[in-house]
Amino acid sequence: MKKIIVALIATLLLAAPALAETRIAYVDLQKALNLSKAGVQAKSEIAAQVKKYEAEFKAKRGELQKLKGELEKQAVLLSDSAKAQKERDFQKSGKELQRFQKDVKDELQQKDAEHTKRILNKLFEILQKLGKDGGYSMIIEKNEGAVIYADKSIDLTDELIKAFDAAK
């Protein structure tokens, strides 16, 4: 029993210096994405495109509603073939509007993903440098569920944002 206790104490004494040298920090990459200058600029670019596309969509929807109104007003006066043609035109316009909406959504998602990837790649480069220069053994991402508790003193997020903005 004494040998076990002595071995345990020896192990703890030898492990203590190794633990003291370990430096761990965390970053909130979502916060860095949202608050960095590049992140704010990317968001505003996408918001401007959303506004532009919303105006286009409203105009196209107005045309579609106008076509529907004409169809309803002229339904009694039109021949069957002319009425059928107007209905086909209306359905075609409706499908085009849906396609436009889907294409815009896909385009905006792709642009957002491209901006995010570009910014994250740069953030990771800077994190590598911060980790090396700061003597950190590990830097973990706060929002990935791995951090249950962390003291604010080891949060490098603000330092990361400053370094990222300065790197431009």
What confidence tier does 6 reach under pLDDT thresholds 50, 70, 90?
very low
Which segment of 5-9, 40-44, 104-108 scores lowest on mean pLDDT?
5-9
pLDDT, average across residues 119-131 = 91
The highest-confidence range among 13-27, 56-70, 98-112, by mean pLDDT, is 98-112
What is the per-residue pLDDT for 17? 53
Asked if residue 18 has pLDDT above 70, the reply is no
Between CA 71 and CA 92 the distance in angstroms is 14
Alpha helices, DSSP H only, in 22-138?
Answer: 29-35, 37-74, 80-134
Average pLDDT over residues 79-102: 91
Indicate the average pLDDT of the chain: 85
CA 69 from centroid of its chain's CA atoms: 41
What are the tens digits of pLDDT across the range 32-58?
999 999 999 999 999 999 999 999 999
Is the pLDDT at 86 greater than 90? The verdict is no
Compute the distance between CA of residue 143 and CA of residue 128 in angstroms, rounded to an integer: 18
Tell whether the model's pLDDT for residue 88 goes beyond 80. Answer: yes
What are the residue boundaries of the structural domains of the chain, listed by start? 19-166
pTM: 0.70
